Amino acid sequence: MDPALPRTVRALDTDQLLALEQEAAACRLNRRLPVAWLREHLAPEATHYVVPVLVHRLSHRPEVSPHWRCRLLLTVRSGEEIWSLLDVLPDTFDRLPETLGAASRKDIVGRMERAVTQVEWAERAAASDGPGAASPN
């Protein structure tokens, strides 16, 4: 039986986020950003957030199925918040500490809804020759 999708938000520092992205790359999961792009554009001291939104199953790859498709709320060097997607293995997600109260989780989900996507941010930054000039997508 598949584990149930957690209905929560987890806070991550930049190093934790990079480790999740590296694991997703090593497992060849589809939804992730290049670690080099993240290192270039993320605010190093920021807190980022991950929210599982659906169970993703790959019948042809049982070693990584199921996994959680998550939304990320990322803070870039300019201080702006953007969102992206990341596939996370359930055991990895379960090891992330639960540190946020209900009000904080609700606020983060609301901020995520108002944030632009990583692609939109990168395109806007490229148009202005800003710090996001290169989109990984």
Q: What's the CA gap between 9 and 22, in Å, rounded?
A: 20
Q: What's the CA gap between 78 and 130, in Å, rounded?
A: 10
Predicted TM-score of the model (pTM): 0.86
Q: What's the CA gap between 17 and 5, in Å, rounded?
A: 19
User: What are the pLDDT digits (tens) for 42-95?
Assistant: 999 999 999 999 987 766 766 666 889 999 999 999 999 999 999 999 999 999
Residue 79's pLDDT is what?
95
User: What are the pLDDT digits (tens) for 16-42?
Assistant: 999 999 999 988 887 889 999 999 999
Q: Delimit the domains of the chain by residue range.
A: 10-127
User: What are the pLDDT digits (tens) for 84-107?
Assistant: 999 999 999 999 999 999 999 999
Q: Is the dihedral of CA 94, 17, 103, 109 positive or negative?
A: negative
